């Protein structure tokens, strides 16, 4: 039988442990929206905590209740207003096309905006127009228009609403110096559309900095979103993730090995999958012991470093790496700037600029005022090994 563990980006494991509450709360929020009270969700967490897996599960739940879903993974280039507008409006138009009766669009397999003239779109009830920043229309006004005018298409199709499932959304941020406000524009437009009876549900996932970005963009985001923090699993949940995954296979781990995996992975979902998969792939036995794992542990760590950590460390410059290694000497989270300064022996202003760059690169995050942590679980362990 094939290996039951499934490490990968956004791949749902055979057994999803410790996430029942998240699924239940999302289902309740959909029901609340269906009854007239708008809801939105933020799934925040470190790398490897299963945020993408949760978004994919939310997609299944939403569609089973009669909602349409839109999926997209974002990156830094979407912080440009034109690029962001094209993406969001493209998602709206593509989804409107799905539920429309226009056979011409289906025949050619293209987006409706690619094959029809604007006046034809209007005739079929779909509103479309490109966003040109040079024409001085505010992006927020443009998005409001696209959301509100196209709501009738979804409503007439008998759909309860549209859920935007946007991953890696921490990469989208406003830039006052560039006069670019994609995040504030989206929040303002979604809020406006919801107040006017349009059931657009915004469900976004990203690293912890996502909450800072949201609060900076609009002060009312705390009232607009329900925050779900995806963290590591409790020991009992981590054990369930291992044991219940093995139940569907011919493999068996002794309890000491299960305990060792829980201890070393600290209950982070991706690392549980990686440890389980690698252990099975590199032994020839069906019943595995702690002794079997110990023999391949060094090889496992080298593979883990190569696949998960090294490329991310290489995003940092030499000076930025000095900050990372200094932080690793101190701890894993809630590391005070005064201690980083002492360990790195850097000028305070230089240090703060480097910290800012590391946050932008997704390697660390601000855990509290004047405190920082690593955005990658087990990254400190890797840095200490690399050091």
Residue that has been written with the tokens 């002492």 in this structure: 342
Residue-by-residue pLDDT tens, the chain, 387 positions: 689 999 988 888 999 999 999 999 999 999 999 999 999 999 999 999 999 999 999 999 999 999 999 999 999 999 999 999 999 999 998 888 888 754 344 444 555 445 444 444 444 566 666 676 556 789 999 999 999 999 998 998 889 999 999 999 999 999 999 999 999 999 999 999 999 999 999 999 999 999 999 999 998 888 899 999 999 999 999 999 999 999 989 999 999 999 999 999 999 999 999 999 999 999 999 999 999 999 999 999 999 999 899 999 999 999 999 999 999 999 989 999 999 999 999 999 999 999 999 998 999 998 888 999 999 999 999 999 987
Confidence (pLDDT) at 96: 87
Would you say the pTM of this structure is higher than 0.85? yes
Half-sphere exposure for 363 (CA within 13 Å, toward CB): 26
**CA pseudo-torsion sign 122, 127, 132, 134:** positive
Residue pair 172/182 in contact by the 8 Å Cβ criterion: yes
CA dihedral (191, 192, 198, 202) in degrees, to 10, reads -20
Which residue in 258, 321, 322 sits closest to 287, CA to CA?
Answer: 258
CA distance 343 to 326: 5
CA distance 187 to 193: 10
Give strand pairing partners of 73. 167
CA distance 213 to 220: 12
Phi and psi for 203 in degrees, rounded to 5?
-125, 110
CATH code of the domain occupying 20-229? 3.40.50.300
Which residue in 218, 159, 156, 184 sits closest to 30, CA to CA?
Answer: 159
Q: H helices of the chain, where? A: 20-34, 51-64, 81-99, 103-108, 112-115, 118-123, 139-156, 182-195, 209-217, 221-224, 235-247, 255-265, 269-281, 290-304, 310-313, 318-330, 337-344, 348-360, 379-386
Class of 315-386 per CATH?
mainly alpha
Q: What is the DSSP string of 202-249?
A: EEEEE-THHHHHHHHH-TTHHHH-EEEE--PPPHHHHHHHHHHHHHTS
**CA pseudo-torsion sign 272, 273, 278, 279:** positive
């Amino acid at each position: 039988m094939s290996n039951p563990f499934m490490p990968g980006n956004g791949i749902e494991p055979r057994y999803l442990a410790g996430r029942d509450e998240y699924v239940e709360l999302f289902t309740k929020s959909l029901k609340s929206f269906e009854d007239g009270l708008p809801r939105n969700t933020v799934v925040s967490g470190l790398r490897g905590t299963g945020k993408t897996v949760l978004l994919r599960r939310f997609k299944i739940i939403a569609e089973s209740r009669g909602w349409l879903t839109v999926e997209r993974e974002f990156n830094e280039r979407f912080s440009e207003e034109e690029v962001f507008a094209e993406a969001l409006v493209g998602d709206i138009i593509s989804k409107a096309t799905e539920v429309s009766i226009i056979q011409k669009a289906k025949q050619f397999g293209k987006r409706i905006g690619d094959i029809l003239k604007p006046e034809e779109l209007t005739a079929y009830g779909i509103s479309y127009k490109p966003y040109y920043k040079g024409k001085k229309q505010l992006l927020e006004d443009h998005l409001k228009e696209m959301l509100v005018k196209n709501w009738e298409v979804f409503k007439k199709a008998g759909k309860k609403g549209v859920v935007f499932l946007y991953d890696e959304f921490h990469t989208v941020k406003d830039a006052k110096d560039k006069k670019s406000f994609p995040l504030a524009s989206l929040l303002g437009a979604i809020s406006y559309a919801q107040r006017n009876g349009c059931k657009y549900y915004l469900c976004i996932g990203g690293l912890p900095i996502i909450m800072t970005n949201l609060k900076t963009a609009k002060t009312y985001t705390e009232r607009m979103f329900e925050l779900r923090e995806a963290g590591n699993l409790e020991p009992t949940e981590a054990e369930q993730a291992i044991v219940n995954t093995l139940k569907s296979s011919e493999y068996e781990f002794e309890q000491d090995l299960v305990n060792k995996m829980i201890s070393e992975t600290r209950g982070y979902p991706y690392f549980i999958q990686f440890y389980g998969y690698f252990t099975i792939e590199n032994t020839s036995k069906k019943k595995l012991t702690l002794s079997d794992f110990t023999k391949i542990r060094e090889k496992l760590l080298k593979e883990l470093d190569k696949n998960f950590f090294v490329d991310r460390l290489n995003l940092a410059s030499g000076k930025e790496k000095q900050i990372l290694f200094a932080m690793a000497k101190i701890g894993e989270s809630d590391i005070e700037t005064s201690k980083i300064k002492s360990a790195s022996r850097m000028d305070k202003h230089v240090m703060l600029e480097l910290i800012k760059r590391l946050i932008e690169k997704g390697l660390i995050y601000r855990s509290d005022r004047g405190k920082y942590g690593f955005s990658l679980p087990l990254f400190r362990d890797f840095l200490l090994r690399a050091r």
